Each structure stands twice: as C-alpha cells, then as structure tokens.
Structure 1
Amino acid sequence: MLSSFPTWPEAWRHPAFRRRLLLVLALLLLLAASLPRFFAWVQARPGIILPDPLLALLPARNVSGLTFAIIYLGIGLGVVTLLPQPYRLLRALTAYLLLHGFRCLTLALFPLEPPIGLIILRDPLVEQLFYAAPAPITKDLFFSGHTATLFLLALAVPAGWRRRVLLVATVAIGLLVMMQRAHYSYDVLAAPLFAGLSFWLAGKLTPKQG
C-alpha cells in the first residue's frame, strides 16, 4: 500500500508526479466534456432486456434520496481522506479515469434496455453537468458506476474505519440501485471487479514515491 508520508510540496518536487497528475486531470476534463454526447448515443440505441432472478427477489422502491445521500457522503469521506496524501490521490484519480474508460467500453459493447419496473434514479448534479439530454438517461447500465466508485474509494483509502464505512456504503448502494430497478444485478456484481482492476492498473502506472 502507498504510505501517506510525502506532503504535497515534497511530491510536487518530483517531475514524474507533476507530469502524471497534470495528465490525469487533463484527461478527466476531456472525458467529462465528451460524456454528454456519448450518453446521448447510448440512450438512443436499442438494447435487450435481461432476465434477472436476483433482481426479482428485491422489492421495487423509490430510494433516490437515500441513494444519493450515501453516494455523496461516501465520496466526501473518500476525498477528504485522500486529499492530504498526494500519491494515494494520484492513484485514485488514475484508477477513476481507467474505470470510466472500462465503463464506456462496456456500455458501447453491451447495449441494454433498463430492467422492467424501472423507477427513474435522479441525480440533479450529474444530470446537469454530464448527462445533458432531453430525457433521463436510463440505459447507463453495465456496469454500475455508483457502486464501482464507492468500491474504488474503499480500495484507495488507508485500511481502517474509513475503508469499512465505504465498503458498507458500496453494498448499500448496490442494493438500493437494484431496488430502484436502475440496474440489473449483473451491473452491480461486475462493478467491484472493474473497480479492482482499475485500481490495480493504476498502481502500475502511478509514479513511485520519491
């Protein structure tokens, strides 16, 4: 695991750290700028409806408020924990970029229709900033980005109570988005696998501490 010893001034003195951080931030901005058009394309495509026996076992409920309360509190906890630790933060940002790369790839390869009984999961912040479309995005399915993001943060923070909280939040979000019928169980179960792969690859790409 990466230690938290180097401070920002110490890390910034290393050219490899500076280059990688600026590159990752630039690529994240480029990704954010391209997402509206990409998700509009995803939404316009026809897809297939998957049978999902596990999803059928859960009650259908509108839990948008609780879902986004957990998501944003979890993200806040992760960000506050990682900000003082430049190398951990860089690895987390690199992993987040890779995660979205994998997600765009899987969304492009596996066009799906939302589960039967979908209850629109509304996130005003994301809809305004990224999913600019005349109608809600409902085909943003395989794999669950919310579940993957919280699991990625759980991997990125140091071992301890924060990681345990984020792991519990990951499980809660997975269950909630299925209750909302916003995702298939396959989307949720695959999310930690892609998050783990992204975090592992980011570890190979992140410069070593000087």
Structure 2
Amino acid sequence: MRSCRTTRLTSPRLGGRQPCERVASSKCMGALPKAARGLAAKTPRRRILARCVGALTFTLACYAVMTALVLWAELRQAPTLPDLMVSALPYVPWIDRVNYLAWLVAVVPILAAFFALEPERWARCVVALGLLCLARGVCIALTGFGPPNPLNAGPGLEGTDFLSAYLSLLSPAGLFFGNASHVYLSKDMFFSGHTSTSFLVLLYVWHRPPLRWAALGAHLAMVAAVALAHRHYAIDIVAAYAFAFALFAMREWQPRAPGPRAAVARRAGPIGPIPEPSSGRSGA
C-alpha cells in the first residue's frame, strides 16, 4: 500500500507557527482510486458545460427581452423612410418567406461545430450574441422606423393580443417554421439582426480557417437575403457591422501597453520649447 504524505506549510505572517495549508504529495494522488481520478478529470469538463448552459440561458433571456421591446415598438406609428437600397433592389417574395429559416440553416451549424472545437470560446460568443440582442432591443425601443416596403408589411398586432404574439415569436416553431415574424413584425427593426449575428460569429471563428470560410459564406448570404427581402433599410445593415464589431472589440481585445517611444515621452515630460537660462543680469 502506497504511503500518502502531506507537507505542512507555515505562514511567515503568523510567525511560522500556525499551519496555513496541507499539500498532498504526488504519491498520494497516485494512491487515489481510478474512480476518484476520473471524477477529478471530469470536473473541468463539467465546469465548461455549466458555463455553456449558463451562456445559452443568458442569450435566450436577452432574446426574450428584445422580443418584448420589438412588440412594444409595434404599438406606435412610424413613417416609411426613403432608402436607396430598397428602391434599387427587387423584392423577392420567396426569400422573404424563408428569411428566418435561412439564418437557422446557415449560422447554427457553424455554431455547433464551434462548440465542439472550443466550448469555452463558444460560450463567450453566445454571451456576446445575447448582449447584441439587448443592444438591438434598446435601439428599436428608442426610435421607431416604419416598414421599408409597406406593400409587403404584415398587419402587426392588429386584432391580436400582445401575449399571444409574444409567445408565438418565442416559439422556434412559430419563428422559423411558421409565419409569426411576417404577421406580427411590420416595422423596421434597427439594426439588422441577420447581419450583426452572422458577422459576430464570423469574428469569433476567424482564427479557424475552415469555419472562417463557412461563416463568411453564411454572412454574405444573410446580407443578400436581408437586402432582397426588403426587411431592412440600408442603414440597418451598415449599423449592424458597427455594433457587432464594437461589441467584439470590447469583449475580446485587450488594451495595448504603451510602446517604448510613448514610455520615453511620458518620462521626459510634456513636449514644448526649452526656456532659456536666466543670466541674472538686467538689461541696459
């Protein structure tokens, strides 16, 4: 039977008399049963899985908040604005009908592959998607824009109570396979969700070339679908890049340390004219 020794550590702040921790030796770890070693190995995996579940729950809650804000915005009147993209591109009805289903088919498989490769970074990406939903909901509530193409806009909430429309939009069956979005969402929703979410996923998988090219193709397809479905103004697409990129930068980029020139300049003090030394003599 292997011996299990422990090392007693003393705290110098306590005068070296009171123990502060016991550390098991490597022989002690080797003496653990296989079941215990397996449980220790599975603990990080469980933590990662719990983090992923928490991230997904957070994002779903953010989507629920955004949906409530979108439906609240449907209750107010908003004018249709002139738009170069909407007036120049043709309206394609079948693309409009499968708009949400196309996002599901194009983006979700990339997220699934990303989860299998990097679950921890996937969790960060999903949380970022949730924050993007919150930002979009706030923008929609702040300023109302009318439908880009009033001829193809749905009836909105006319003749339907708020709760029924809300539950229908939260249901995957109603959102992706039903007609809930076309019936209850008649106004413009600044900024484009298809563009911003697919672009944010592209940024998170950029370091993996196979996923990068798949995400780039999915993103371009989403932008084309949004434009041909007349679901958004051109400014919605442009702003989607700004919001997604800013959110990615705030979450993933670290502030740069000052370079050597900046450090030297800071030590040297402010730049300015060097005063002439005083001679101590008064002028004649």
Match for 1:83: what amino acid? Answer: F
| 1:111-155 Cα shifts (integer Å, max 9, x gaps) | 10011355359x986573699799421225211101111111111
Higher relative contact order, structure no. (Cα contacts within 8 Å, ≥ 6 residues apart): 1
Tell me the equivalent position of 1:39: 70
Does the 8 Å contact 2:148/2:230 carry over to 1? yes
Please tell me whether Structure 1 or Structure 2 has the larger radius of gyration of its CA atoms: 2
Tell me the equivalent position of 2:198: 150
C-alpha separation between the residues in 2 aligned to 1:141 and 1:201? 24
Q: If the length of structure 1 is used for normalisation, what is the TM-score?
A: 0.75
C-alpha separation between the residues in 2 aligned to 1:116 and 1:33? 26
C-alpha separation between the residues in 2 aligned to 1:137 and 1:92? 27
Tell me the equivalent position of 2:240: 191
Counterpart pick for 1:61 among 92, 96, 107 = 92
C-alpha separation between the residues in 2 aligned to 1:112 and 1:163? 34
User: Structure 1: where are the runs of 5+ without partners?
Assistant: 1-7, 206-210
Shift of 1:104: 1.0
Tell me the equivalent position of 2:148: 115
RMSD across aligned positions (CA): 3.4
Shift of 1:90: 1.5
Matches within 5 A, 1:163-178: 163-178=212-227
Q: Secondary structure at the match of 1:78?
A: helix
Match for 1:94: what amino acid? Answer: V
C-alpha separation between the residues in 2 aligned to 1:43 and 1:105? 14
C-alpha separation between the residues in 2 aligned to 1:40 and 1:159? 38
Match for 1:102: what amino acid? Answer: A
Give the direction of change, closer, same or farther, for the CA distance of 1:44–1:196 in structure 2 (3 Å limit). same
Shift of 1:66: 5.5
Shift of 1:99: 0.6
Does the 8 Å contact 2:147/2:153 carry over to 1? no
Match for 2:145: what amino acid? Answer: L
Does the 8 Å contact 1:75/1:150 carry over to 2? yes
Shift of 1:93: 1.1
Does the 8 Å contact 2:52/2:122 carry over to 1? no
Tell me the equivalent position of 1:98: 131
Give the direction of change, closer, same or farther, for the CA distance of 1:178–1:134 in structure 2 (3 Å limit). closer
C-alpha separation between the residues in 2 aligned to 1:100 and 1:112? 18
Shift of 1:80: 2.0
Give the direction of change, closer, same or farther, for the CA distance of 1:11–1:142 in structure 2 (3 Å limit). farther
Shift of 1:54: 2.5
Match for 1:111: what amino acid? Answer: G
Identical-residue share of aligned pairs (%)? 27
C-alpha separation between the residues in 1 aligned to 2:74 and 2:125? 29
